[in-house]
Structures are given as structure tokens and as C-alpha cells.
Amino acid sequence: MNWLDEIRWDDNGLVPVIAQEDSTGDVLMFAWMNREALALTAERGEAVYWSRSRKRLWHKGEESGHIQKVHAIRIDCDNDVVLLRITQLGHEPGIACHTGRHSCFFQKYENGKWVAVDPVLKDPEHIYK
């Protein structure tokens, strides 16, 4: 059996993916992959996702230069979630979020509202072409 056949793809042929920083364990982002994206990720050693908004493959960092070098690809016990252990490249410290922050999970629930608790490391106006 092909290793990709063991993934439990959803009705749209997608699987949720968590990108976790290999060195710190920080969860940097959540995205989706289709079969082709996961195969390309394994082949290249760099994260390739499926962009639902653009409806196309998206090589992380193709515009920003913030590429994700993949160290390990794991699946959960139900084979329906992928975990990438990555190093975020392109800026020090690594920027994974389109807002210019290290992680997409920069908002924290406090006293009935969401508060941005992580700083913008680089203005997005200066990141994207």
C-alpha cells in the first residue's frame, strides 16, 4: 500500500496539518494539504500546502521567503491529522504568520476578549512582493 493511501483524507481530499518548530516545540501554524502537497513536501523536504482560498498548491515562503524546512512528517493515531516538525527559515527568529509574527497563534483569550500577545517581527508590507 502507498503511504499516502494510509491518510484519512476528508471529503474534499484534504488533511489538516500542524507546523511545529522542531527546536522549541512551538506550534507555528495550521494549514491543509492534499495528496500532491504531502507528496511534494516529502520529496522536497520543504512544506507545500493546499491553499483553499487560492485553490492551488502553495509552497510556504514562495512570496515571503519564509520557507519551512521539514525534519519529520508524522500522523496522529487516527491517520487524519499531519504534524510537520520544521525549521522556519527566512528571518531570525522565524516568521510563520502572514501578520509578520513568529506564530499564527499570537492571540490569547483574556477576560472575555482576544489579546495579541506576541509582537510583529516584521511589517507584512515589507514581506510580500
Could you give the number of structural domains in the chain? 1
3 state SS for the chain: CCHHHHCCCCCCCCEEEEEEECCCCCEEEEEEECHHHHHHHHHHCECEEEECCCCEEEECCCCCCCCEEEEEEEECCCCCCEEEEEEECCCCCCCCCCCCCCCCCCEEEECCEEEECCCCCCCHHHCCC
- pLDDT value at position 31? 97
Q: What is the pLDDT of residue 51?
A: 94
Give the pLDDT score at 65.
Answer: 86
- Mean pLDDT check: name the lowest of 25-34, 57-66, 68-77: 57-66
- CATH number at 105 reads 3.10.20.810
Q: Give me the mean pLDDT over the 6-27 stretch.
A: 97
Enter the pTM of the model. Answer: 0.89
Weakest-pLDDT range from 42-46, 62-66, 104-108: 62-66
Domain that holds residue 40: 3-126
Mean model confidence pLDDT for the chain: 93
